[in-house]
A and B are shown apart, each in its own frame.
Chain A
């Protein structure tokens, strides 16, 4: 598989820690595929929230900001718990808005964790993506700090326990001569400044998160920040319903002279609390530091040599016409136009290897086939297809060109169903001439199976493919190609029946096309509609 190039990996000697991380990466990949498949079965690939964990996290951040502004209006630094009690006592707005704030913050941690797992499992955490990964780790830390200050602000038994545990850890550092825990000892009132600093941090840190997000997505040409409307509405509605029906309880006000029998802790922000309270302070710090350092070092631990399938795209200056399409299509802004060295007037594309993730989208965008990763340019694709078609001469098969990352287990099922399967690394790489060549080479029809648009590792593969096939985007499928013999479809793990049904539907239509009966064929305009939802259409 091109995006999982074991051959490239095995060329370099791996030290034991890196080997362990690769094992972990593969394990995470298996877990993720199983979870993806389950979510697709339940919700369909269009609304699979696991495919859009990043946009879901951002959407939840917006919910937190809006609900947070409301809560801020009623919060009092001088009477923290009493003011929150007042908010909770308002059954019309306050109660569920506070609950929504809480549930959205918890759901955001889940979304961020899924997002990190996804990037790790799909080997999207190193090389040019290092900035996004490291900034994401720092953003997660910010999210936790923001959450902790939010809980402490309330000054209920949970907030106090969190504050005391944090103060205990800070007291172990040789920084402050007066133990922070003295603030909560009970011999004097907790100063208002403490609540004010908490409030300040709770407002300021999310602003830092917003700034950090800008860095996080800065390498992406067209970041997708929000989930599809239907999914957004469903998630928001579900959280609101939960907030109305079962808001989290407000624990009693903290009393320094009374240790409560039990404290309702928020697992997502205080999962570490029961453990660290039983451990010495140094162990708490060691655990936290090791976790952060290992997380930040993941790009170094999982990086591959930039060769073979991971080699960045190159430009053949002789064939580049300077049309400037590849810089427009590149999802990573890795291509710039610059003056050429051969004396011709037009500009020439130049790939910045430090920003190129080897997704190969540019190979599909270049009509004269002058750009792309080594062995994946349009010319290489044509050569591979010729080799693929040779043994099929005379069979007039249906050629299924399939993204090999989408649902690897479906490929064999497609073969068993009679299709000649031609896997490629990403359908966004697919040069339209390959489809034409397949039909000229004797294929009855060509069906292109893409991954779900929101799960594309090249970010925009299905979107650009659909534009090139049906909307005359540069490097378009030529008008002479019979569109009735071409179909685009989505192949999602967990929906094998859907994949096979799409194939059999296409085969049926081709049968009708080959043996036409009056009125049996669908109108051409319907056939020309892509089977996929346009990748940009639901954003």
Chain B
């Protein structure tokens, strides 16, 4: 019958055992993989625009709706890049990357992680533009500037310069020798101010 002393003792012991199980499983230590290190690539950068531009005449411009009167008419696409990752001269990854979005006109977002053994390694990360055609433009900035009429066309030039300045160069290479302790991470990222790839092993100073 329930309620007798042996059952009550057993019940108490059972309840204590369940609490112990609750405690153990609430903070269940599990190993986080091997003792190696990691190489992490992470950046967001704007790819270069490969395009052919033609300067519209005043007559052509007049035929356009007022809100579409851009002096330069450009056709093209955003560049593809070849990403090659080597550790100690051995290529561990080789892929083609491009801008985000359906039209690939968004910034190129990248996140990759590679397990590497702890220790001293030579890391080489190369991001090289695949598209060989350079931009062809009938105009040069100077020529356009000379013939500019009004602030709207000046803004057009500024905007193009700004975009071109934001785009990553045709060739980016980080070649570095790093000693990685166990479980440490080497982060390779794009430094927009220095316009280069940088390697970090700790959070950058703010």
Choose one: A161, A186, A256, A498; the contact of B2 (CB below 8 Å). A498
Distance between B34 CB and nearest chain A CB, rounded to angstroms: 10
Task: With CB as the reference atom, state the residue of chain B lying closest to A241.
Answer: B19
- How far is B202's CA from A43's CA once the two chains are assembled, in angstroms? 55
Stretch with Cβ within 8 A of A (4 or more), from B3-11, B53-61, B128-136: B3-11
Q: Does A342 sit at the interface, judged by CB under 8 A?
A: no
Q: Would you call A263 and B204 a contact (CB within 8 A)?
A: no
Distance between B3 CB and nearest chain A CB, rounded to angstroms: 6
The 0/1 profile, CB within 8 Å of A marked 1, for residues 139-155 of chain B is 00000000000000000
Q: Does A287 sit at the interface, judged by CB under 8 A?
A: no
- How far is B38's CA from A262's CA once the two chains are assembled, in angstroms? 16
Q: Does B49 sit at the interface, judged by CB under 8 A?
A: no
CB contacts (< 8 Å) of B32 on chain A: these are 161, 259-263
Choose one: A182, A241, A264, A497; the contact of B29 (CB below 8 Å). A264
Q: Does B196 sit at the interface, judged by CB under 8 A?
A: no
CB contacts (< 8 Å) of B7 on chain A: these are 41-42
Q: Would you call B2 and A257 a contact (CB within 8 A)?
A: no
Q: Would you call A242 and B184 a contact (CB within 8 A)?
A: no
Task: With CB as the reference atom, state the residue of chain B lying closest to A161.
Answer: B32
Number of A residues with CB within 8 Å of any CB on chain B: 48
Number of B residues with CB within 8 Å of any CB on chain A: 44
Given the known inter-chain contacts A186-B203, A187-B42, A248-B23, please indicate yes or no for A262 contacting B184, CB distance below 8 A. no
CB contacts (< 8 Å) of A265 on chain B: these are 27-30
CB contacts (< 8 Å) of A498 on chain B: these are 1-2
Q: Please provide the chain B residues from 21 to 50 with a CB less than 8 Å away from any CB of chain A in the complex.
A: 22-23, 25-33, 35, 38, 40, 42-44
Q: Would you call A494 and B2 a contact (CB within 8 A)?
A: yes
- How far is B27's CA from A107's CA once the two chains are assembled, in angstroms? 13
Q: Does B137 sit at the interface, judged by CB under 8 A?
A: no
- How far is B21's CA from A103's CA once the two chains are assembled, in angstroms? 11
Q: Does A189 sit at the interface, judged by CB under 8 A?
A: yes
Task: With CB as the reference atom, state the residue of chain A lying closest to B182.
Answer: A261
Q: Would you call A182 and B109 a contact (CB within 8 A)?
A: yes
CB contacts (< 8 Å) of B29 on chain A: these are 262-265
Q: Would you call B27 and A260 a contact (CB within 8 A)?
A: no
CB contacts (< 8 Å) of A249 on chain B: these are 27
Given the known inter-chain contacts A106-B26, A185-B42, A186-B203, please indicate yes or no for A257 contacting B185, CB distance below 8 A. yes
The 0/1 profile, CB within 8 Å of A marked 1, for residues 165-190 of chain B is 00000000000000000011101010
Q: Does A181 sit at the interface, judged by CB under 8 A?
A: yes
Q: Would you call A261 and B183 a contact (CB within 8 A)?
A: yes
Distance between B1 CB and nearest chain A CB, rounded to angstroms: 4
Secondary structure type dominating chain B contacts: mixed
Q: Does B14 sit at the interface, judged by CB under 8 A?
A: yes
CB contacts (< 8 Å) of B183 on chain A: these are 258-261
Q: Does B106 sit at the interface, judged by CB under 8 A?
A: yes
Q: Does A4 sit at the interface, judged by CB under 8 A?
A: no
Q: Would you call A177 and B111 a contact (CB within 8 A)?
A: no
Given the known inter-chain contacts A186-B203, A265-B28, please indicate yes or no for A178 contacting B44, CB distance below 8 A. yes
Q: Does A92 sit at the interface, judged by CB under 8 A?
A: no
Q: Does A45 sit at the interface, judged by CB under 8 A?
A: yes
Q: Would you call A182 and B111 a contact (CB within 8 A)?
A: yes
CB contacts (< 8 Å) of A259 on chain B: these are 32-33, 38, 183-185
Distance between B47 CB and nearest chain A CB, rounded to angstroms: 12
CB contacts (< 8 Å) of B1 on chain A: these are 495, 497-498, 501
Q: Please provide the chain B residues from 53 to 72 with a CB less than 8 Å away from any CB of chain A in the complex.
A: none
Distance between A414 CB and nearest chain B CB, rounded to angstroms: 15
Q: Does A171 sit at the interface, judged by CB under 8 A?
A: yes
Q: Would you call B27 and A185 a contact (CB within 8 A)?
A: no
Q: Would you call B187 and A261 a contact (CB within 8 A)?
A: no
CB contacts (< 8 Å) of B111 on chain A: these are 171, 179, 181-182, 185
Task: With CB as the reference atom, state the residue of chain B lying closest to A44.
Answer: B2
The 0/1 profile, CB within 8 Å of B marked 1, for residues 248-275 of chain A is 1100000011111111111110000110
Q: Does A72 sit at the interface, judged by CB under 8 A?
A: no
Q: Would you call A187 and B25 a contact (CB within 8 A)?
A: no
CB contacts (< 8 Å) of A177 on chain B: these are 100-101, 106-107, 109
The 0/1 profile, CB within 8 Å of B marked 1, for residues 401-420 of chain A is 00000000000000000000
CB contacts (< 8 Å) of B189 on chain A: these are 185, 187
Task: With CB as the reference atom, state the residue of chain B lying closest to A500.
Answer: B1
Q: Does A524 sit at the interface, judged by CB under 8 A?
A: no
Task: With CB as the reference atom, state the residue of chain A lying closest to B188.
Answer: A187
Given the known inter-chain contacts A257-B185, A257-B201, A259-B183, please indicate yes or no for A187 contacting B43, CB distance below 8 A. yes
Given the known inter-chain contacts A177-B106, A248-B26, A263-B29, please indicate yes or no for A185 contacting B40, CB distance below 8 A. yes
Given the known inter-chain contacts A265-B30, A495-B1, please indicate yes or no for A103 contacting B38, CB distance below 8 A. no
- How far is B204's CA from A186's CA once the two chains are assembled, in angstroms? 8
CB contacts (< 8 Å) of A43 on chain B: these are 2, 11
Distance between B185 CB and nearest chain A CB, rounded to angstroms: 5
Q: Would you call A274 and B42 a contact (CB within 8 A)?
A: no
Q: Does B200 sit at the interface, judged by CB under 8 A?
A: yes
Q: Would you call B25 and A262 a contact (CB within 8 A)?
A: no
Q: Would you call A258 and B27 a contact (CB within 8 A)?
A: no
Distance between A12 CB and nearest chain B CB, rounded to angstroms: 41
Q: Would you call B185 and A186 a contact (CB within 8 A)?
A: yes
Distance between A451 CB and nearest chain B CB, rounded to angstroms: 15
Q: Please provide the chain A residues from 292 to 338 with a CB less than 8 Å away from any CB of chain B in the complex.
A: none
- How far is B190's CA from A465's CA once the two chains are assembled, in angstroms? 76
Task: With CB as the reference atom, state the residue of chain B lying closest to A167.
Answer: B111
Distance between B41 CB and nearest chain A CB, rounded to angstroms: 9
Q: Does B194 sit at the interface, judged by CB under 8 A?
A: no
Q: Would you call A40 and B2 a contact (CB within 8 A)?
A: yes
Given the known inter-chain contacts A259-B38, A259-B185, A261-B35, please indicate yes or no for A266 contacting B109, CB distance below 8 A. no
CB contacts (< 8 Å) of B100 on chain A: these are 177-178
CB contacts (< 8 Å) of A242 on chain B: these are 19, 22-23
Distance between B39 CB and nearest chain A CB, rounded to angstroms: 12
Q: Does A202 sit at the interface, judged by CB under 8 A?
A: no
Task: With CB as the reference atom, state the residue of chain B lying closest to A264.
Answer: B27
Distance between A493 CB and nearest chain B CB, rounded to angstroms: 11
Q: Does B15 sit at the interface, judged by CB under 8 A?
A: yes
- How far is B2's CA from A349's CA once the two chains are assembled, in angstroms? 43
Q: Name 20 extra pairs, CB < 8 A, besides A42-B15, A182-B109, A257-B201.
A: A41-B11, A42-B2, A42-B11, A43-B2, A43-B11, A106-B22, A177-B107, A177-B109, A182-B42, A185-B187, A187-B204, A241-B19, A242-B22, A256-B187, A261-B32, A263-B29, A263-B30, A266-B26, A494-B2, A497-B2
**Shortest beta-carbon contacts, A-B, top 4:** A177-B100, A42-B11, A185-B42, A497-B1
Between-chain CB contacts (< 8 Å), 14 pairs: A42-B11, A106-B25, A177-B106, A186-B40, A187-B43, A242-B19, A249-B27, A258-B184, A259-B33, A259-B185, A261-B32, A262-B30, A267-B28, A495-B1
